[in-house]
Structure 1
Amino acid sequence: MTERSPLKIHDLRPAPGANRPRIRKGRGEASKGKTAGRGTKGSKARTTIRPGFEGGQLPLQRRVPKLKGFSNSLFKKTYQVVNLSQLAKLYPQGGEVTPEDLVAKGAVRKNQPVKVLGNGEISVALNVKAHAFSASAKEKIAAAGGSVSQL
């Protein structure tokens, strides 16, 4: 018996048939020449299309209007709106109304200013504290014997 030398990394080879030569597309009729696996005609057979191209449909950047109107979104104040009809349901006996109390009752979201609007009727005296009021809401709350205070 002959003694074998230990296996070295440079002795390793892939199994026969495991490595196949790379297909050289578009290099003549002998291999995948001519269409190079892209089929015939159509945009996918040709070179790349420009970004934003929608197949001839009017592209988004031309469909959207350009520079119209004004948006004050950076400084815009959005209020959580509460109507008097909601307050009448939430406080049937009257009492103190604060934004924190409205959040607890699920009428508004927290950490946002609250505005009271005059939609609906109110018959009980409410002491309402909010960030903003409509003129009709102020009148109706005062007429019912309540008070209004702005935060």
Structure 2
Amino acid sequence: MTEVLAHDILTRAREAGVTVTTAESCTGGMVAAALTDIPGSSDIFHRGMITYSDAAKQEMLGVHAESLQVHGAVSEPVVVEMAEGARIAASADIAVAVSGVAGPGGGTDLKPEGRVCFALATASGTQVETVDFGALGRANVRAAATHHALELIRGALDVD
């Protein structure tokens, strides 16, 4: 299913002359991999950023230390900064950012295992949302987050 979605994104982005980038934490590059698994993806995907640590988020994407301290890496304010920073760094039309608690463990009452924050930045603005996938296990949370991020990109291509 992810491959079909990635093909659709490539086709739509190519037709629209739009470029896409990613800023990933808990997915560790899985969104970028899904896109670049498709031959010809270099037409629309020039780079992606895996920013697993707070330091990487700050250095590569311009996420503010205060945002990380106040809200934590798994938060809507931080993924907004990630997406907007990635869009600028890559000179891309669309940027998706993902940060979450994939598990197992590592979650808290406030940020349980399976909670993932997403942001999508375009020239029209940035949308943000949080999805609780539940404690599905690390591989399943990461796969669900990857699919959701790809759906967000495809949705942006329907609008832009």
Tell whether the structures are fold-level matches, with TM greater than 0.5: no
Please give the TM-score of this superposition, normalised by the length of structure 2: 0.26
Q: Write 1 or 2 for the structure with the bigger share of helix.
A: 2
Which structure: larger Rg? Answer: 1
Q: Write 1 or 2 for the structure with the bigger share of strand.
A: 2
Please give the TM-score of this superposition, normalised by the length of structure 1: 0.27
Structure ranking higher on relative contact order (CA contacts 8 Å, 6+ apart)? 2
